[in-house]
Chain A
Amino acid sequence: AQRVTQPEKLLSVFKGAPVELKCNYSYSGSPELFWYVQYSRQRLQLLLRHISRESIKGFTADLNKGETSFHLKKPFAQEEDSAMYYCALSGEGSSNTGKLIFGQGTTLQVKP
């Protein structure tokens, strides 16, 4: 079964501290992994996806197939990073519809 696990409901850090939001997945094939973010009173939007291998707003995420993880990292948190972060998976295969399987989400709170 496809499943995404985000073990932390809330992560609270001080400005300038490193951040790591954990994401583990369960999938038998080669999934596409994404991080979506929802800032206060804004709509859900894509932060980054593993196939792009890029850094967005200082965030990076590396797909570790051995550990089935896709943790989101940032070396120095900023107050504007405070938001809800969702890890999501999309399966493979011609019959796959592209639907996203989301984790439960982690609220990141960056304190001044």
Chain B
Amino acid sequence: GAGVSQSPSNKVTEKGKDVELRCDPISGHTALYWYRQSLGQGLEFLIYFQGNSAPDKSGLPSDRFSAERTGGSVSTLTIQRTQQEDSAVYLCASSFLMRGDIQYFGAGTRLSVL
């Protein structure tokens, strides 16, 4: 694809439900990042993948959040038992390598927890 693709673009869910957010990075990009953009907290790092491994999960806010990446490509961010404070825009970015390389961002998934 031409860019980083995220789906769904919008997700409305009820408190307590699980949600899955998908990211399809630019072909050939080995590094993949998830960030969260919220009104109160700005843009926060969540997790980093290099290939299928996640060497840095330091930004995940609780054990309700998990992510995986398969085939060195698509990644899924899962939020279990959603809470209202999980409402935010979840952004995915990919790059060829790591530090200093340009990160290309997806359009994001806007999650609303009612």
Contacts and interface: CB of A to CB of B under 8 A. Distances in A.
Interface stretch (B19-27, B60-68, B105-113): B105-113
B95 interface: yes
A49 B93 CA distance: 17
Given A97-B55, A97-B98, A97-B99, A45 B42 contact: no
A105 B43 CA distance: 9
A57 interface: no
Given A43-B107, A44-B91, A96 B98 contact: yes
Contacts of B90: none
A32 B93 CA distance: 17
A98 B105 contact: no
Nearest to B59: A99
A84 B72 CA distance: 32
B101 interface: yes
B45 A105 contact: no
Contacts of A91: 99
B31 interface: yes
B18 interface: no
Interface string B75-105: 0000000000000000101010111111111
Identify the 4 closest CB pairs spanning chains A and B, nearest first: A98-B98, A102-B43, A98-B99, A44-B105
Given A45-B104, A98-B97, 11 more contacts: A43-B3, A43-B107, A44-B91, A44-B93, A86-B43, A96-B98, A97-B48, A97-B50, A97-B56, A100-B33, A102-B43
13 contacts: A43-B107, A43-B108, A51-B100, A96-B98, A97-B50, A97-B55, A97-B98, A98-B33, A98-B100, A99-B48, A99-B56, A101-B45, A105-B42
